[in-house]
Amino acid sequence: MLGNDIVDLNLAKTQSNWRRKNYLDKIFTTEEQLLISAAENPDMMVWLLWSMKESAYKIYNRKTGVRNFAPKSLSCTIHPNAYAEVNIDGNVYFTKSSLHTAFVHTIAVPNYHQLEEIKIAIYEAPNHLFDYKSTKPGCVSHHGRYLALVY
């Protein structure tokens, strides 16, 4: 199983004011809030953590059938060697993220060794005009101008 999330950073700026009072408290753990406040680029850290949670939740949801996205109950740990973990109810998912000026993209897998096997295709188009479902992706994510497929 694969998970994947992409955040269009320009759209996120207009759609979400994460700096408003109590916003972070509803979505991020105390440890994650410390990462955000200590980050050189807090905006990027917010959307990195968000994409990690979303990509791991997609696997968890398919595995368990549980449809309850409660972001604060998903706990992120970032490791210095370019991968991270998301813990959901004792299930650990391994994530790898790409940070770009226009978007943040994260993939998630249940087994760390799968991270290097994932094939990623990211498209920028306002309407995603091709039949991407015919390519049989393992997971699809779209936000704003971006479409991310993983195989």
Q: Which amino acid is at 99?
A: L
Which pLDDT belongs to residue 81?
A: 78
Q: Give domain status of residue 97, yes or no.
A: yes
Mean pLDDT of the chain: 93
Residue 76, domain extent: 3-116
**Across 86-115, average pLDDT:** 96
Q: For the purposes of burial, counting CB atoms within 10 Å of the CB of 42, is it exposed (0-12), middle (13-18) or buried (19 or more)? A: middle
Q: Kindly state the percentage of the chain with pLDDT values over 90.
A: 83
Residue 19 maps to which CATH number? 3.90.470.20
Q: Give domain status of residue 90, yes or no.
A: yes
pLDDT, tens only, 47-84: 999 999 999 999 999 998 878 878 899 999 999 877 89
The structural domain count of the chain equals 1
Q: Give domain status of residue 76, yes or no.
A: yes
125 vs 44, more confident: 44
Q: Is the dihedral of CA 52, 53, 58, 64 positive or negative?
A: positive
Q: Give domain status of residue 17, yes or no.
A: yes
User: Is the pLDDT at 132 greater than 70, yes or no?
Assistant: yes
Q: Give domain status of residue 129, yes or no.
A: no
Nearest to 48 by CA among 89, 97, 87, 2: 97
